[in-house]
């Protein structure tokens, strides 16, 4: 009898031990998604990165946000670390349409899918998917409103974003596809400020020294619009020069309400970020027929419809 009880206890303990070992050995490893953003020195990209991380976390992933500081070398270091650390996907806001291709290629070679957000790379079949704002069409709408607000005549300035970014030229080309049809509108200066607020202020101050009679300024993003506006305030011209931006950031939405900025193109970074995170989740779970490119519509925001919007989206 004692022998039978002893054998029973031994079998029970063995089963318990096996079950515990099985539990430890089968522990489910949490999957990881990296978010690589061109710069965290711009609130719009901060919002984009945070929304991507928030959605990825909601889908059950560990996340980490990387700041490339508008430098492809820094971006390359991030990709190296991401590959070594075994991330399962990358939600990517490139620093340069051409210069970032190599980084996406090495992630692909390592078996890590890359989903571009807002900015695209100039290569097909490298990124798994690219989710972008329709910058050209958005800038066409701004161009039409620009012509209307300046009554088809006057001198204007264009402040460009980063020259290596496709959005810079899509916005510029969209704007000029309209404005260049009006001979009464003369562009007296066109200069890059790298999508940076402080650089735009310096650029605008310099331009105003050479061109005192300005009627309008079109800026490739909202950070530069605010920088240009600051320069106009310093020059005592903020009341007479109309400023146009592109992004839909919270400070420009507030500035439109206050009559400081005339209009902007509202992008929807939350939609872009959440779509990229959802695509990454679907890919990790086995789906492969994802769209190669998606364009998210941009909406014109001005004093007439400002009540419908908040920073980075609609109310």
Is position 15 within any domain?
Answer: no
Give the predicted TM-score (pTM) of the model: 0.86
pLDDT of residue 30: 87
The single residue listed with the structure tokens 């310099």 is 206
Question: Chain-centre distance of CA 252, in angstroms?
Answer: 17
Domain identity same for 145 and 261: yes
In total, how many domains does the chain have?
2
User: 39: which DSSP letter?
Assistant: -
Condensed to tens digits (0 to 9), the pLDDT of residues 175-227 reads 999 999 999 999 999 999 999 999 999 999 999 999 999 999 999 999 999 99
Question: Chain-centre distance of CA 75, in angstroms?
Answer: 15
Domain identity same for 229 and 243: yes
Domain identity same for 187 and 200: yes
Is position 237 within any domain?
Answer: yes
| Residue 276 to residues 46, 190, 198, 234, 281, Cα–Cα distance (Å) | 16, 34, 30, 41, 9
Quickly state the pLDDT bin for 140 (edges 50, 70, 90).
Answer: very high
Domain identity same for 145 and 161: yes
In this predicted structure, the answer to whether residue 13 has a pLDDT above a threshold of 70 is: no
Is position 199 within any domain?
Answer: yes
Domain identity same for 121 and 200: no
Is position 4 within any domain?
Answer: no
Is position 11 within any domain?
Answer: no
Condensed to tens digits (0 to 9), the pLDDT of residues 246-269 reads 999 999 999 999 999 999 999 999
Domain identity same for 117 and 262: no
Domain identity same for 170 and 56: no
Distance of alpha carbon 26 from alpha carbon 308, whole angstroms: 51
The single residue listed with the structure tokens 């402080």 is 198
Domain identity same for 239 and 143: yes
> β-strand 309-310 against 299-302: which pairing, if any?
unpaired
133 CB-side CA count, 13 A: 32
Domain identity same for 118 and 177: no
Quickly state the pLDDT bin for 11 (edges 50, 70, 90).
Answer: very low
The single residue listed with the structure tokens 């890059």 is 192
Domain identity same for 182 and 289: no
Is position 214 within any domain?
Answer: yes
Exposed e or buried b per residue across 20-50, where buried means at least 16 C-beta atoms within 10 angstroms of its C-beta: eeeeeeeeeeebbbbbbbbbbebbbbbbbbb
Condensed to tens digits (0 to 9), the pLDDT of residues 281-303 reads 999 999 999 999 999 999 999 99
Domain identity same for 231 and 287: no
Is position 109 within any domain?
Answer: yes
Condensed to tens digits (0 to 9), the pLDDT of residues 43-102 reads 999 999 999 999 999 999 999 999 999 999 999 999 999 999 999 999 999 999 999 999
Quickly state the pLDDT bin for 25 (edges 50, 70, 90).
Answer: very low
Which residue range(s) make up the domain with 215?
A: 135-267+304-310
- Tokens standing for residue 66: 């990387």
Quickly state the pLDDT bin for 27 (edges 50, 70, 90).
Answer: low
Domain identity same for 232 and 275: no
The SS3 call for residue 216 is: strand
In percent, the amount of the chain with pLDDT more than 90 equals 90
CATH number, position 231: 3.40.50.2300
How long, in residues, is the chain? 315
State the average pLDDT over residues 226-247: 97
Is position 3 within any domain?
Answer: no
List the end-to-end C-alpha distance of the chain, in Å, as a whole number.
77
């Amino acid at each position: 009898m004692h022998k039978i009880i002893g054998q029973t206890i031994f079998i029970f303990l063995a089963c318990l031990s096996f079950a515990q070992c099985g539990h430890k050995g089968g522990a489910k490893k949490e999957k990881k998604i990296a978010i690589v953003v061109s710069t965290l020195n711009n609130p719009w990209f901060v919002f984009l990165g945070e929304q991507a991380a928030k959605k990825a976390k909601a889908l059950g992933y560990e996340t980490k946000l990387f700041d490339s500081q508008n430098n492809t070398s820094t971006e390359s270091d991030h990709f190296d670390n991401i590959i070594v650390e075994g991330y399962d996907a990358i939600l990517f806001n490139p620093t340069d349409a051409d210069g970032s291709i190599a980084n996406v290629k090495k992630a692909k070679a390592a078996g890590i899918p890359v989903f571009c957000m807002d900015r695209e790379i100039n290569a097909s079949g490298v990124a798994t998917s690219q989710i972008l704002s329709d910058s050209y069409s958005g800038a066409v709408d701004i161009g039409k409103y620009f012509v209307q607000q300046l009554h088809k005549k006057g001198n204007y300035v264009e402040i460009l974003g980063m020259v290596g970014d496709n959005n810079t030229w899509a916005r510029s080309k969209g704007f000029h596809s309209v404005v260049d049809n009006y001979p009464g509108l003369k562009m007296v200066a066109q200069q890059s400020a790298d999508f940076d607020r402080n650089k735009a202020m310096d650029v605008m101050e310099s331009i105003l020294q050479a061109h005192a009679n300005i009627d309008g300024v079109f800026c490739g993003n909202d950070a530069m619009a605010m920088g240009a506006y600051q320069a106009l305030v310093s020059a005592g011209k903020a009341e007479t020069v109309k400023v146009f931006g592109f992004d839909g950031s919270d400070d420009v939405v507030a500035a439109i309400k206050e009559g400081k900025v005339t209009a902007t193109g509202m992008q929807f970074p939350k939609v872009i970020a959440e779509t990229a995170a959802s695509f990454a989740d679907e890919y990790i779970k086995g789906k492969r027929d994802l769209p190669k490119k998606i364009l998210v519509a941009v909406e014109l925001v001005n004093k007439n419809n400002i009540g419908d919007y908040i920073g980075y989206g609609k109310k």
